[in-house]
Amino acid sequence: MVAGLALTQEQRELLKQRRQRLGELLPFPVLLWAGGRSPRNFPHNGYPYRASSHFLYFAGIPIEQAVIRLQAGRLELFVDDPPPGAALWHGPSPTREELAAQIGAEAAYPLSELGSFSGEALTLGVQDAATRIQQAHILNRGIPAAPDLHPQDEPLAEAVVQLRLCQDAFALEQMRTAAAVTVEAHRAGMAASRQAKRESEVRAAMEQAICAQQMTVAYTSIVTVHGEVLHNEAYHHRLQPGDLLLADVGAESPLGWAADVTRTWPVSGQFSPTQRELYEVVRQAHDACIAQAAPGVEYRELHLLAAQVIASGLVELGILRGDPHTLVERDAHALFFPHGIGHLLGLDVHDMEDLGDRAGYAAGRQRSQRFGLGYLRLDRPLQAGMVVTIEPGFYQVPALLQDPVRRQRYDDCVNWERLAQFADVRGIRIEDDVLITPTGCEVLTAALPSHPEEIETWVMG
């Protein structure tokens, strides 16, 4: 399906540059499958099609069931023309030659010829298992499910990570459009909150703003008054006047590029004093990280900076006791901020997470065993062109705070009685998408307010 997805000459040129750089990094031929439609409850009722991100990176547009072959900058397309009768159901479709011209392929063949072009080719497994079986069949070797890789494909994964870590003008133009629509969605959500009776109504208003712009959500939306459930996918709770609503919703552009934004706002339009105090702690952490983000800075240091700001804020509020630096060393901050400060963003909302930690972690680094660091998804020095999220939070997660082992370990540094006074805060997160520039960074989603007064104004309408 490429209806309405025509590429410009400039976009085609940037795609060509990606392929040339791949050719410089890798002496082997590469086959990348777009993948097929995943069936929902029967074969002809599929989920909305999403091509593999690696295919999209080099071909630019989604082409169902297509395969591309890349070698030394040359691009060949393998795809079948639509079967006879398809026009009745699906309308006129571009021919193989038209698709080849669209993506700038030097040659195009039916899929039946793929076998004779597959020798020595490396690949990356797609997400749908049915297509992965075809990959294994064509290449005559096992293609494991992500994040595992056949050892032969490791050099391809490394080259792809090297390319996709920093975004080019094509990617940034797409990500800016996704960011702009995401900002609109959050504004729509704030505006809908006072009238809404349930979470689902706010979610619907936000996703409507995305759908109306011919985009889709980049990930399952989180729109909940139970922000303490980090990946909450329930939308049935009633909104009560004293609730904070946490909305983590991002658009994906038609060519597959993601935005990922969280805001937290009072359903009533007015933060309570306790909500405002904790909101400001999170916002200080958010602002501090953005102020520091620049090429050469270790992302892990931004995470620890956020932890430090949050620990200091909680000490000031009397929730934690002790020296903030020591508290962070003891992971006491992670009782309330248990996840990482963010992740890479690109074609995937957690960019290249299908490759495991190969993208997120610099060579030789691995996940920490520490409670306060183990969930960090990115541990690299920042480079100009990277897009990352910055998303500190504060949560009261019963599974953490009621855990007897943790309660004992941190009993000396948590003032439980003081904490109980903040019971009207279950979860707060503020998340923006940040492009690292040569001199610092640019917040792609800066048009969305994070100041509490501005948020209140938007909710009040």
Residues numbered 208-267 forming contacts with its own copies, rule: CB under 8 A: 208-214, 219-220, 226, 228-236, 256
Neighbours of 280 (CB within 10 A): 16
Q: Considering the rule CB under 8 A, would residue 144 count as an interface residue with its own copies? A: no
Among 72, 107, 133, 291, binds its own copies (CB under 8 A): 133
Are 293 and 390 in contact by the 8 Å Cβ rule? The answer is yes
Residue 217 C-beta: closest distance to its own copies, Å: 10
**Binding of residue 65 to its own copies (CB under 8 A):** no
- Would you count residue 349 as binding its own copies (CB under 8 A)? yes
Q: How many residues bind its own copies (CB under 8 A)?
A: 71
The DSSP code sequence of 263-289 is EEEETTSS--HHHHHHHHHHHHHHHHH
39 counts as binding its own copies under rule CB under 8 A? yes
Options 76, 354, 391, 433; binder of its own copies; rule CB under 8 A: 354
Q: Indicate which single residue of 200, 270, 274, 284 sits in contact with its own copies (rule: CB under 8 A).
A: 200
Taking the C-alpha atoms of residue 452 and residue 435, their distance in angstroms, rounded to an integer, is 24
Residue from 12, 25, 28, 46 that binds its own copies (CB under 8 A)?
46
Angle value at C-alpha 331, between 273 and 334, nearest 5 degrees? 45
Supply the minimum distance, in Å, between the C-beta of residue 287 and its own copies.
Answer: 26
d(CA 458, CA 369): 41
Among the listed ranges 67-75, 84-92, 283-291, 406-414, the one in contact with its own copies (CB under 8 A) is: 84-92
Question: What CA–CA distance (Å, rounded) separates 263 from 246?
Answer: 6
Residue 268 tokens, joined: 């009533």
Q: Which of 27, 40, 325, 420 contacts its own copies by CB under 8 A?
A: 40
8 Å CB contact between 216 and 48? yes
Q: Which of 83, 91, 119, 273 binds its own copies (CB under 8 A)?
A: 91
Closest CA to 443 of 451, 429, 433: 433
Shortest Cβ 116–its own copies spacing (Å): 26
Here the contacts of 15-20 (C-beta below 8 Å, separation 24 or greater) are 15/58, 15/59, 15/60, 15/103, 15/104, 15/170, 16/73, 16/75, 16/104, 17/168, 18/57, 18/58, 18/163, 18/168, 19/58, 19/70, 19/73, 19/74, 19/75, 20/73
- The answer to the question of residue 89 lying near its own copies (CB under 8 A) is yes
Residue 74 as a binder of its own copies (CB under 8 A): the answer is no
Q: Amino acid letter at 312?
A: S
Among 338, 342, 360, 392, which residue sits at the site for its own copies (rule: CB under 8 A)?
A: 338
- The window from 7-15, 16-24, 196-204, 295-303 that contacts its own copies (CB under 8 A) reads 196-204
Helix axes 299-316, 273-292, angle to 10 degrees: 150
Q: Binding of its own copies at residue 207 (CB under 8 A)? A: yes
- Residue 74 C-beta: closest distance to its own copies, Å: 26
* Shortest distance (Å) from residue 358 CB to its own copies: 12
**End-to-end Cα, the chain, rounded Å:** 39
The residues, any chain, with a CB within 8 Å of residue 192's CB and separated by 6 or more, are: 201, 202, 205, 206
* 437 lines the binding site for its own copies (CB under 8 A): no
Residues 163-192 that bind its own copies (CB under 8 A): none
Q: Between vectors from CA 30 to CA 27 and to CA 33, what angle results, nearest 5°?
A: 170
Omega cis (within 30) before 147: yes
Among 45, 112, 116, 369, binds its own copies (CB under 8 A): 45
Using CB under 8 A, pick the residue from 72, 169, 291, 399 that binds its own copies.
Answer: 399
358 part of the interface to its own copies, by CB under 8 A: no
Looking at residues 263 to 322 of the shown chain, list those that interact with its own copies (rule: CB under 8 A).
none
CB of 85 to its own copies, least distance (A): 8
Query: CB 159 → its own copies: shortest distance, Å?
Result: 18
Q: Give the count of beta carbons closer than 10 Å to the beta carbon of residue 84.
A: 7
Examine residue 87 and tell whether it contacts its own copies (CB under 8 A): yes
Rg (alpha carbons) of the chain, rounded to whole number: 24
| Smallest distance, its own copies to C-beta of residue 396, A | 12
Site for its own copies in 109-128 (CB under 8 A): 127-128
Give the one residue of 163, 181, 205, 305 binding its own copies; rule: CB under 8 A.
205
Q: How far is the CB of 46 from its own copies (least distance, A)?
A: 8
